Structure 1
Amino acid sequence: MPEEKHARNAKALRALAHPLRWKLIDLVGREQTATATRCADELGESVASCSYHLNILAKYGFVEQAPSGPGREKPWRLTSVNQNLSGEGLGVEGELAAQAATEVFLDHELDRMKARLRRHALEPAQWRDAVSFRGVTTALTADELREVTAALDEVTRRFAHRATDRDAIPDGAREVRIFFATSVAPPPKTAPSAKTAPLPKTVQGGDA
């Protein structure tokens, strides 16, 4: 599938500012094709609601109808496994739409992490030991932060092809979410001295 087939504009970004639409994108991507009925069964929503939101996603090019098999209901598939949430170059309206879409996406991401955390103890030992979450607050230059971001991006891309090349998935593999984020704090109102500057903080855990 081509990358980012949908048009990049404020209205398309606004279409992603809805939590159910991210759930639909995840489900359709995971199953490759899914009908509104299948989405409703899996997500606990009505068929009418899933059908409506799938059509909105289709309107802005995020999903499309797949070749149908037996039955009257047509399945949907993603047009791309990548969604660009940047509002760069789209003016003020685009930047606001990008912010709204990104905030809903992050809420969706956090909800998924919490749900998997709640069932972490039920996983076999080899899967419990394989997952982790970690965070560190430190001080970097813009170039250093760019280097860190690039390194994390390289790790995520190493296995990303399996999202579309299902033949590359080895036996015993399960769906895994790899998510990373880097951010920069706003400048302080007054520059802290070396003695009063906050110490770097590290958060590490094995339950997410």
Structure 2
Amino acid sequence: MPDPHRRLSDPRELNALAHPVRMAIIELLSVSGPLTATELADRLDETPANCSWHLRKLAQHGFVEEAEGGKGRQRPWQVPGLGFRWDDEHSSGSVDERRAAQALSEVAMGRALERLHEAQQRVPDEPEEWRAAHSNTEMVAWLTAAELKEMNQAISAVLDRHVERLTDPSKRPAGSRLCEFVAWGVPTYFPGVEPA
């Protein structure tokens, strides 16, 4: 299984990934395994030439690599690792790193929100068991910095519980579907509400 969660800090790496087509390529290779530029183009409604160009840019930074089999245009690509972590735009890194991290966060969250909207639109067409399993959660709480960090770590541990199922289809239970969880734990700012 690929190593999870490559840590990104170089602004050039962050900027290379902060593109909707490149992010979509990484997502598809992560959940579908090796694919050719033509297969990616079909799924993304892009041209094979455009996907090839983006694959080469991703390969320059080690985000993708050639997979076994195939030649030329039939050459499959794969991800060498599963997932990424980067410090958010409020980190103590350089100005360039913070800007690049913010751009990448905006692309990643934007794509996740698009998938959330699509899932919400499809809810009426889902079987009852999937409608009942579907959930959106939002909350605010008064926490210390230590409590916020602990909650974020606990949520990450829960989200990583079934990560091996992405790369090993034999571990997927019958009837399972690809599902997405998006979480962030950050201080929030309401007008007139000051820290305790």
Which TM-score tier does this pair reach, normalised by the shorter chain? 0.7 to 0.9
1:181 matched residue in structure 2: 184
Q: For residues 109-188 of structure 1, what are the structure 2 equivalents within 5 Å? A: 109-186=112-189
Q: Distance in 2 between matches of 1:147 and 1:25?
A: 29
> Normalised by the size of structure 1, how large is the TM-score?
0.83
Residues 149, 182 of structure 1: 8 Å contact kept: yes
Q: For residues 1-208 of structure 1, what are the structure 2 equivalents within 5 Å? A: 1-3=2-4, 8-69=9-70, 72-86=73-87, 90-186=93-189, 191=194
Higher gyration radius (CA): 1
CA RMSD of aligned residues (A): 2.4
Gaps of 5+ in 1: 195-208
1:130 to partner: Cα distance: 0.7
Q: Give the 3-state SS of the residue equivalent to 1:84 in structure 2.
A: strand
> Normalised by the size of structure 2, how large is the TM-score?
0.88
Deviates most, 135-144 or 32-41: 135-144
Q: Distance in 2 between matches of 1:182 and 1:121?
A: 30
Q: Distance in 1 between matches of 2:50 and 2:94?
A: 32
- Note the alpha carbon deviations across 1:64-110, whole angstroms, 9 max, x for none: 11012488520110111121222657522112111111111111111
1:125 to partner: Cα distance: 0.8
Residues 6, 60 of structure 1: 8 Å contact kept: no
Q: Distance in 2 between matches of 1:104 and 1:159?
A: 24
Q: Distance in 1 between matches of 2:142 and 2:180?
A: 27
Give percent identity, aligned residues only: 35
Q: Which structure carries more helix by proportion?
A: 2
Q: Give the 3-state SS of the residue equivalent to 2:143 in structure 1.
A: coil
1:42 to partner: Cα distance: 0.8
Q: Distance in 2 between matches of 1:62 and 1:169?
A: 25
Q: Give the 3-state SS of the residue equivalent to 2:137 in structure 1.
A: strand
Q: How many residue pairs align between the two structures?
A: 193
Go from structure 1 to structure 2 and tell me whether the alpha carbon gap of 1:112 and 1:80 turns closer, same or farther (over 3 Å shift): same
1:19 to partner: Cα distance: 0.9
Q: Give the 3-state SS of the residue equivalent to 1:133 in structure 2.
A: coil
Supply the AA of the counterpart residue of 2:82.
Answer: V
Q: Distance in 2 between matches of 1:6 and 1:148?
A: 20
Q: Distance in 2 between matches of 1:60 and 1:22?
A: 13
